[in-house]
Amino acid sequence: MKKEAANFILEHVFLPPKVSQSYHDEAGADELLKKISQAAHEFADSFSRDSSERRIWAQLRRSISKWIDLYDNGEPCISKIINSLDTMLKDDVLLFYIKPQNAAIIVRNKSRGAIFECFEVLARTDAVLKATDALIRRFPARAVFLPEEKLRNTAFTRELGGAIHKLSVEKLKIAIETTRKANNTVVEERQSAHPRAVTEWLFGVLGSCGNAVPSHILCKRVHDDVLWKNTNLPWRRSGVWLSARVALQIALVNAELEGEGHGHYKNFIFTRRSSRPTSEAGSTNAKLGSSTFGFVQTATDEALSSIDNDMQRQWTEVVLREKVNVQPVAHDLLSTELLLTKSSPILRHIWERAHKGFAHVVESYSPPTTTEVTLPIGSLPTPAIFERPGDLLSCLVGFEFWIEENLGSWSVANTGNPSACRALLELLPKYHALAKRKYESHPERLSIMLLVMFELWIALDTIATTAHPLLLDYPPEIPSILFGPLLLSKRADLERLSRIELHIKSRDLRELRLKVEQETQKARDDKLVEWESKKQKYDKLMGEVEAMECGIWIPRGIDRWGKPYVGKPRHDRRCQKCAKEKEAKAMEISKHEWALPDNETLCKAVVFELGAPPALVSWRDATFYLVQDVGRSQAIEGPSRQQNLLTYPPLKRHTQHAQDRRVTLGSAVKSMLKSHYIRSSLNVDPVIVNNGLVPKMCDTSKSNLWTAEQTGKLSLQRYCYVKLSEPWNEHLGRYVNFTLHTTNSVIARQSVCPPEMGPHEAVYFGSLRSGERLQILNILGALMSLEVDLNSPAIAVLFRYAICQVGTPRTKLPLYLRESQTALEDEHISQSLLNALEVSFSKIEPNFKEVSTAAVLLGVCLNILSLTPVPKIATRCANLNFKIRQAALAWIRQMTKLRTDQKNARADTGALKDLSRQILIACLLCRRTFALDNDTQ
């Protein structure tokens, strides 16, 4: 037996606590039927040779063999079905599992004819999910007796076999359950099919050819489950196994077993399950009690004994595994000498190596080469440039250089081209996603990223407002004070930022609306015609009902003794009057919803959105991307969006340029087309209804984001926020990232400063950025103070933020200077700063261990060089920059020679690593001396 079939039998017969989460497709049902046939053969052999029980079980085993042939791996053959109907013997029982219709047919052949019974196999999915325990179900649903003469008619059996075959292989629309999703009626495949094609149609036909007969009703507790995970169809208990059990029980209950049919069925099923010892064997045996057959009891005792022996064996293994015997160690074997009898070769190798000369092997190193990214000057780069093979950093830097040098000229050339807005919009999120990931934890590069993104938006805004000047009457929702947290040290970057801040400070749709209203009115007129037609039909049916009388049905049939009987007259279930009345009452019509809102303002907004210009759509999406995704850290969620305006069926055909809109109109209220109120009876609700949507601007990237509810404050602080190492960050982090604290608050908190920092140094540290305009003066004081350790990493970060963070823009010329940099216009302050820098550098120039201090001094020097308007100050800054470069080169040579000497002397690895780190920092310092503005290089 295949493993798949064995697992199938285990899951469906023995009900393990853990089963699959996807549909099994009845894989293994053939093997299951064969196992049932084999078990029936063994069960029959357990009775005495001449007993009626053995005869009945032998007949039943013969029938089960036909079940296997009819099922045929779930692909029944029409010739087999017809042949089985033509060649039925007395007391044969046939089982047809009609999977597509979720039904089964049992045929019990008797001497004067055959009884056809049918039932629904799998219960409804929702009923199984609601049940807290097993479902109580009754079988069969319907029974029809066909006389022998009818079954001898080969034409009839051929038609009947063909019908059963068609039902077994074809899905019918009337059987499939449907549901409403997104205003569409879709097939609900996870719901069990309705067996009406068998129980109503087929058995209705059979009933007309024979007689409806009563049948013994079986009441069964059926265990079922509906399980699915990452799959389309759920796992359900096998329909073949349930059908076989019901067929067995019906056959046994109706057999000549003197009322013992139920006991035979229970014993047989118990024998089948006890063939594999499980914990349920004992409880099932107790339920059967005295009804258990002798040979079944023997098999049960053997199964329980096997379980007990297995448990005893496992317990013995556990006890032995946990029992550890520690052998006592004899005292005469103890020794205080370390013998190391097998370590002689290793020790000899170490001894010989220690007496040999050591020469460090210098490995050649070739730094990786990076191809420079060259972009055409006259055309806008496409998002495809970020997918090129090679170094992403080089690609990002090349793109940023193109934006700085060429975006302005490209924007001027494409001002009259609205389609360029789409190209800019596609670049914005692609660049943001890659640069944000690559520049993570580097505030200076993240600041350049934000600068580039807003320059792209400026170009898009320029083109969009040129195409649609009405946009100029509305604010862009981007405040000019948003850029305070950025870290920009170069004059060119500050000038770019100033242009962005200055930019921020400084069609006829009547025909479309008429077209929408005309089409909606036509649909409404058609709906009224439909309503009139159905109303006339309804009135006609009700008129016929009033002129008719209810039908009377007199039951006739054969009782259990085989005698004909005539029952009491009763109301005919097929009463024509009631049927017509039911037909009339069941008539429904779908309502018509007006396509546009009644409110005139909302109506105009909807019509405008249908024909919104592409340039405006791109501008709106790009602006919202910057405001929401870049500027805000959290989104405010609202009710779920039930309808997108652009996909609303009555308006969808009128939508222009609808592709890839992020911001558009949506509604949190369902339209009538999607609600359960859409259909109504003719005489209950009005068929004409108003539009039920409440249009509001929404973000289509999420289902519950509405633009009007996004009121969070815009800030770029999180991109440029730096965290110091512990324990510095807890007490001093606020003094690095913000300038809102005062000197008094710093003095009040000096008692909680880190133990590595003295109280005076803590006051200097906290006061350096206490006041935006005082930062330059505080830097001068810190450079002249002996309390501040400029070689500290925390001090280096503090100085970097003090000289680079742009802060508040100022209103006086030159606009590229910020409020925090106003002091650099004063020549005396700049001279004092340079004097302090030169004195500080002269103190550390002989000591290569002060390379971090030199980096702090270089940062201040480059900032003054980039921003000072005084030429002689710029000259002094350039000279100091050259001195720092020469000192860095000397330090590199000095430390490289020292490291080589220490390697040859077999110095400590930790010391070598520290020296390597110092060399790397000195190299970075030397490289940074070349980071000058273009006009100063």
Which one, of 450, 462, 473, lies nearest residue 503 by Cα?
462
Helix (H) or strand (E) holding 220: strand 218-222
- Cα dihedral 830, 834, 840, 841 in deg (nearest 10): 150
Q: How many C-beta atoms lie closer than 10 Å to residue 791's C-beta?
A: 17
The whole-number pLDDT of residue 916 equals 86
Which one, of 75, 43, 107, 400, lies nearest residue 250 by Cα?
107
List Cβ neighbours of 669 (8 Å cut-off, separation of 6 or more): 642, 643, 692, 693, 694
Place of tokens 């002989």: 846
Given a contact cutoff of 8 angstroms between Cβ atoms, the answer to whether 267 and 150 are in contact is no
- Give per-residue pLDDT as tens, 493-552: 888 888 888 777 763 455 556 667 777 778 778 877 877 787 777 777 767 766 776 566
State the average pLDDT over residues 65-73: 81
∠ Cα 431 435 436 (to 5°): 115
The whole-number pLDDT of residue 889 equals 92
Which one, of 644, 664, 648, lies nearest residue 516 by Cα?
648
708: which DSSP letter? G
Q: Model confidence at 120, in pLDDT bands (50, 70, 90)? A: very high
Phi, psi for residue 178 in degrees, rounded to 5: -125, 165
Amino acid at 531: W
Q: How far is CA 822 from CA 859, 868, 871, 894, in A?
A: 18, 10, 17, 40
User: If you average pLDDT over each of 340-344, 868-872, 881-885, which comes out highest?
Assistant: 881-885
State the average pLDDT over residues 55-78: 82
Q: How many C-beta atoms lie closer than 10 Å to residue 297's C-beta?
A: 14
Share of the chain above pLDDT 90, in %: 7
- Is pLDDT above 60 for 737? yes
> Buried (b) or exposed (e) across 44-69, using 16+ Cβ within 10 A?
bebbeeeeebbbbbebbbebbebbbe
Q: Model confidence at 285, in pLDDT bands (50, 70, 90)? A: very low
For 121-165, where are the E strands, in sequence order? 135-139, 142-147
> Buried (b) or exposed (e) across 531-551, using 16+ Cβ within 10 A?
beeeeeebeebeeebeeeeee
Distance CA 200, CA 212 (A): 13
Place of tokens 């006061």: 767
- Give per-residue pLDDT as tens, 422-448: 888 888 889 998 888 888 888 888 888
Q: Which residue has the higher pLDDT, 792 or 299?
A: 792
State the average pLDDT over residues 705-727: 82
DSSP-H helix ranges across 223-293 = 239-253, 261-274, 280-288
Given a contact cutoff of 8 angstroms between Cβ atoms, the answer to whether 825 and 817 are in contact is yes
Which one, of 169, 151, 154, lies nearest residue 77 by Cα?
169
Which one, of 886, 892, 890, lies nearest residue 915 by Cα?
892
- Give per-residue pLDDT as tens, 5-29: 777 777 777 777 677 777 777 888 8
Could you tell me the sign of the dihedral formed by the alpha carbons of 729, 479, 602, 614, in that order?
negative
Given a contact cutoff of 8 angstroms between Cβ atoms, the answer to whether 163 and 155 are in contact is no
User: If you average pLDDT over each of 24-33, 728-737, 858-867, which comes out highest?
Assistant: 858-867
Which residues are bridge partners to 809 per DSSP?
818
- Is pLDDT above 60 for 290? no
State the average pLDDT over residues 659-675: 78
Amino acid at 143: A
State the average pLDDT over residues 913-925: 87
Share of the chain above pLDDT 70, in %: 85
The whole-number pLDDT of residue 732 equals 79
- Give per-residue pLDDT as tens, 266-276: 888 777 665 55
Distance CA 785, CA 796 (A): 15
Beta strands at 556-558 and 211-212: parallel, antiparallel or unpaired: unpaired
Question: pTM for the full model?
Answer: 0.49
- Is pLDDT above 70 for 683? no
State the average pLDDT over residues 84-104: 90
- Is pLDDT above 70 for 1? no
Rg, the chain, Cα only: 44
Q: Model confidence at 107, in pLDDT bands (50, 70, 90)? A: very high
Q: Model confidence at 298, in pLDDT bands (50, 70, 90)? A: confident
Q: How many C-beta atoms lie closer than 10 Å to residue 425's C-beta?
A: 24
Mean pLDDT lowest among 299-313, 378-392, 508-522, 781-795: 508-522
- Is pLDDT above 70 for 78? yes
Q: Model confidence at 105, in pLDDT bands (50, 70, 90)? A: very high
The whole-number pLDDT of residue 294 equals 65
